[in-house]
Chain A
């Protein structure tokens, strides 16, 4: 039986789930740290980013899968994922540096998230339901079905979303809903986001932000 264990192999790009074309390069943590000098202004030195309610939140990068980071940076460069600030900074990196920063951020421990602090009990309960069981009457498949146990991520294709900032999660889901983000494979995320109400988005974002991810 083949039970691939991906976590902890983050540096070996191209193993297990999704051996995409862009992942041939091996990243170096040391070089990645150097290349990340321009990133800390927003994503901060510990990779935790910042929740900016009503503004542009800076996502936590610490502990994200390296293959996922590589894919996103290429997507920003090539316009498959659109964001003015990130296009600028992604364009400063060559392919090797992309692999390096990905290696660097992926080995950092996951940091706690912000947002959702004022969410009431009913909202959090709804969020937990969506994350763990989904709402099949609206054909919203549970987040964990794809994002894995605890929604902590599966391989390079399904990023960890637990302990990500609430406003960042909400912005991304809204972007999918409004056809402003569509770089997901096979429209897997878009199909789900389009079935979610604004309240669903608020609920699940708040709940996910309040989950802590324990170190491996």
Chain B
């Protein structure tokens, strides 16, 4: 047992069962003395397993009550607002129709919806995607460059500090560099489907279960200029370099989070099929694009695009995916943080 790792032992019963549970002390109302996240099993999620790190991040109500400097509270609140309404940076840092919380549901706190606090306790760390050690700001910057099809706020800028403060606040009480696997981290793909994912079957699921919100053309919906339903593909969506274009990540997101309010209601096969349909649509070019699709694949295939359909030819209409120079709403391809190598002096 890894009890020595646990900084905040609030739930004696769970600890006895071998779970590494941490929680923000003031959020006891939600835990109600039971092990946390038990309610999730009724929604089809797996229960926490022995040996996993289970962390319940604090809420914004906890922040109101927290015993920290009022100036810090303001900055964390600003980070929360940027995270849930990233559209306020539209045209500056964000060039698509999304907020961070479009993919990180429940304000970035929700298990199986890639909760964001793990980044605060696992970074600085090595990332396969850019092959060097990243800190939290660089991780956040990555989501701006790819998921938001934008360009990040400067490292150390007010907005960047506010966003990282929010991430770090959510991690309050969790151990730094945990050596246990984290319960509910990322978008966990459902088990491999019985049949190969299929475009036509995926389209059927899409029409039946998704168009009411995301629309036939995947462009989502704005109501009188205000965000309602985000775009799944097209100019208003994330670009080809975003993590969610990998079929398994898309399937993991969808199975665990969609249709909105009904997680785990699709079968594994349906989740894979509809994910495959979604990742077979066009979207803005990957900012790492060199001007040549094959060359880009050569460079980033092994670390990333072997999991996506980038450069593949779509079976039903012979369209070669991502064979274009469309950057969506932004008028540049490459934001300042992409392709910057680090620590070169350390490598022989």
Contacts from A to B (Cβ < 8 Å): 1-7, 17-18, 133-134, 136-139, 141, 145-146, 148-149, 154-155, 157, 185-188, 191-192
Contact = CB atoms under 8 A, between A and B. Distances in A.
B219 A186 contact: no
Contacts of A1: 97, 219, 234-236, 329
A19 B105 CA distance: 29
Contacts of B221: 3-4, 17, 154-155
Interface in B222-240: 222-228, 234-236
B217 A2 contact: yes
A29 to B, nearest CB: 22
A149 B262 contact: no
Interface residues of B, number: 35
A4 B228 CA distance: 11
A139 B39 contact: yes
B228 A154 contact: yes
Given A5-B224, A138-B39, 13 more contacts: A1-B219, A1-B329, A2-B219, A7-B224, A136-B109, A139-B43, A139-B261, A145-B260, A146-B213, A148-B223, A149-B227, A149-B228, A186-B209
A141 B110 CA distance: 12
A29 B303 CA distance: 61
Contact of B212 (A137, A138, A157, A192): A157
B195 interface: no
Q: Say what secondary structure dominates the interface of chain B.
A: loop
B198 interface: no
26 contacts: A1-B97, A2-B236, A3-B219, A3-B222, A4-B215, A4-B222, A5-B223, A6-B223, A17-B212, A134-B106, A136-B105, A136-B107, A136-B109, A137-B30, A137-B39, A139-B261, A139-B263, A141-B260, A146-B261, A148-B226, A149-B223, A149-B226, A186-B209, A186-B212, A188-B262, A191-B261
B222 A187 contact: no
Nearest to B106: A136
B291 interface: no
State the majority secondary structure of interface residues on A. loop
Contacts of A3: 219, 221-222, 225
Contacts of B212: 17-18, 157, 185-186, 188
A89 to B, nearest CB: 28
Contacts, number: 79
A47 B167 CA distance: 47
A6 B223 CA distance: 7
Given A17-B212, A154-B228, A146 B223 contact: no
Contacts of B222: 3-4
Contacts of A187: 262
Interface string B125-167: 0000000000000000000000000000000000000000000
Nearest to A138: B39
Find the residue from B40, B225, B235, B262 having the highest chain A CB count within 10 A.
B262
B190 to A, nearest CB: 19
Interface string B309-347: 000000000000000000001000000000000000000
B224 A149 contact: yes
Interface in B78-123: 97, 105-107, 109-110
A1 B215 CA distance: 13
Contacts of B263: 139
A1 to B, nearest CB: 5
